[in-house]
Structure 1
Amino acid sequence: LWPRQLRRSGLRDDEVSVTDEAITSIIRGYTREAGVRTLEREFGRLVKKLAAKVARGGDTPVAIDVGAVGEILGRAKVRDEVPERTELPGVATGLAVTGAGGDVLFIESTAFPTGAEAEPSLTLTGQLGDVMKESAQIALNYVRSHAAELGIDPADLQRRFHVHVPAGAIPKDGPSAGITIATALVSLLTDQPVNDTVGMTGEITLQGAVLPIGGVKQKVLAAHRAGLTEVVLPKRNGPDIDDVPEKVRDQMTFHLAENYRDVAAVAFTITAATTAT
């Protein structure tokens, strides 16, 4: 993409010197998409300004580093949200597939004391489809029935829970957020933030089994773009890791979960036992 934009602007390779760090800063700071259309547009903006500088008689080669990218393209459009969003208990980072490819999905949870006559309940918001709503109910019921082994006081479960998936204008559905919803609830109820290097995807059953999902390649690429370094996948999705480009695979750690206990071991500790790379 970069050489093509140079040619379009009439520049030679020896007239511009760009660092790998500068390219990475454009990818991570100015684009967040499955394809490369926006990336090529940002390269084009940068190169046009460089071409104008060279045409005015500026020294060559023009050196482009991270600082120069900011000066030319302006403030970054995309922030690394994961550490900020997950620093408080009750939030977990999921992975999803959209019409544009993979994306990260933040699951937020909170709870309120029940009134004198109110029953414990679950409210779901974020324009969720029926399958995702059922998945959230299953996740909560799993947490309720396994409270002791998860280190949760049963009394804390007698509350009204609210699970929200931001970007409410975008419809969301499917069962693959099950383990992420369970993790957000466990995080809330144990007052433990979730490891901010981890993204996860997988269906959960009432017994805590982690079932396979689709879109592994797109989800892992989304995790990589978002700066995550670890991904939790259902064990039966292990072979799908081979579909991920080797360059991305080598920078990620994959944790294959058979049961929710495997998920919790990764979500709430810095290192985990079972990995596949």
Structure 2
Amino acid sequence: MNNAMLYVRHAELLRDKVPSFRTYPFHLPAVRDLHRLEFQKQVTFLVGENGTGKSTLLEGIAAAWGFNPEGGTLNFSFNTRSSHSHLYEFFRIAKGVRRPKDGFFLRAESYYNVATYIDELDEEPKAGNFIKDSYGGKSLHEQSHGESFFSTFVHRFGGQGLYILDEPEAALSPLRQMSLLVRMHELVQQHSQFIIATHSPILMSYPGADIYLLGEESIRQAALEDTEHYTVTKAFLNDRQGMLRELLGDG
């Protein structure tokens, strides 16, 4: 898929419409310095330290596309708590020539609410069709957090889709993160596009992906090896005892 064939080609912040860059969420580094975020690959990662605003930025893109800010499919319209920002109102999304046949916005922090909403809908299924059947046939609340996440990736994501994921590694073991890479690759080969906010060097290693590094002063593209997530993890694993002595002040 070239840039024109991607479902989301770029997200542009309408800076002249922003009331003030001193108030939330416009004061966040990821938003304050944003003009246009270009998408050129089927997999794009947003990475950065806590507090830079990558989850808020991701939420804005998802909501501007039409997803429920709390997550789920385009058909999910529940509202558990109005904690999302109005950033999406200041985004212009450039869409590709093709429309996705599938889509999902997954937020680690509000996934419980998505699972609850599915259970509520299944109390009165339409024509005997249970929504949970699309998630492996079992209530997401009857699975562990990690199992419910992975059931969604495996069973609900159907290809030719736009998948926006906020910290999907939150409930996944390192082995499951590797399994997610495999599932992502299957879906990429089925003409899907991923936009992912993550702290996981494992996920960020997806071949050919674009990585946007969100700092205090700028947003720039970076190689995996240039991210703090990779260098700190590598340094710790290569010299665990030395790092622990430095961190804990022993010896």
What TM-score does the superposition give when structure 2 sets the normalisation length?
Answer: 0.26
Larger radius of gyration between Structure 1 and Structure 2: 1
Q: Relative CO higher for 1 or 2, CA cutoff 8 Å, sep ≥ 6? A: 2
